[in-house]
Amino acid sequence: MKQILSAEEIHSGITRLAAQIREEFAGRSITVIGVLTGSIVFLADLIRQLDLPMRVGVVQARSYRGEQTRPGELTIHAEFLPPVTGEHVLLVDDIFDTGRTLEHLMARFREMRPESLSAAVLLRKAGRAETKFVPQFIGFEIPDDFVVGYGLDFNDRYRNLPYIAVLEGRELHGGSRT
């Protein structure tokens, strides 16, 4: 496993993002929706750096099944959402890879008629996008490698790492599973 972003670098990236978001929504109240499960750590750190009045909720979108590292079919579970109609909604996700997850979610949320709809991601993978949509707020651009840590998982493991690391061949093929 090779670390590519330290806890300190992530923290300053989020400070930068929070300043952009605060500026965009100054004087308004927002509804922040974390995309489960990968966004939980980022969501917790981001909202604590955002001094805006807000509601916080979650939605689950799963595109990865088990040990696959390429996207599968997307399922969305939206039953735990706060009200979003007429609200300024900010979707928060861990990583923008092909973009399909956020594109689907944006379409689903648009149907709920928010006042505005935007997205913040901690990471964006270079050269992978398959959508026209680009998130308004992006923490870091990273190369096209499979990363874990700070909420991101491989088969639901490694989410607790305080940094972001690239999984290397042997680990991706089960070598590190215990």
**With respect to ligand IMP, which residue has the nearer C-beta, 49 or 155?**
155
Measure the CA–CA gap between 40 and 178, rounded to whole angstroms.
24
Residues near 111 by beta carbon (within 8 Å), at least 6 away in sequence: none
Which of Mg ion, ligand IMP, none lies near 97, with the C-beta cut-off 5 to 8 A by kind?
ligand IMP
How is residue 67 written in tokens? Answer: 């040990």
Which of ligand IMP, Mg ion, none lies near 71, with the C-beta cut-off 5 to 8 A by kind?
ligand IMP
The distance of closest approach from Cβ of residue 119 to ligand IMP in the complex, given in angstroms and rounded to an integer, is 11
The distance of closest approach from Cβ of residue 152 to Mg ion in the complex, given in angstroms and rounded to an integer, is 8
Kind of pairing between the strands at 137-142 and 147-148: unpaired
Residue in this structure with the two tokens 């590519």, named with its chain if needed: 4
Contact 151, 38 (CB under 8 A): yes
SS3 category, 142: strand
Site residues, Mg ion (CB under 5 A): 38
The distance of closest approach from Cβ of residue 101 to Mg ion in the complex, given in angstroms and rounded to an integer, is 6
Residue in this structure with the two tokens 């750096």, named with its chain if needed: 49
Contact 80, 58 (CB under 8 A): yes
**With respect to ligand IMP, which residue has the nearer C-beta, 88 or 124?**
124
Q: Tell me which DSSP letter residue 21 carries.
A: H
**With respect to ligand IMP, which residue has the nearer C-beta, 32 or 52?**
32
Which of ligand IMP, Mg ion, none lies near 100, with the C-beta cut-off 5 to 8 A by kind?
ligand IMP
Of 51, 94, 97, 153, which residue is the catalytic one?
Answer: 97
Site residues, ligand IMP (CB under 6 A): 38, 63-64, 71, 93-101, 146-148, 152-153
Which of Mg ion, ligand IMP, none lies near 87, with the C-beta cut-off 5 to 8 A by kind?
none
Contact 123, 147 (CB under 8 A): yes
Does the active-site annotation cover 93? no
Largest CA distance in the chain: 51
The distance of closest approach from Cβ of residue 41 to Mg ion in the complex, given in angstroms and rounded to an integer, is 12
**With respect to ligand IMP, which residue has the nearer C-beta, 49 or 60?**
60
* Catalytic annotation, residues: 97
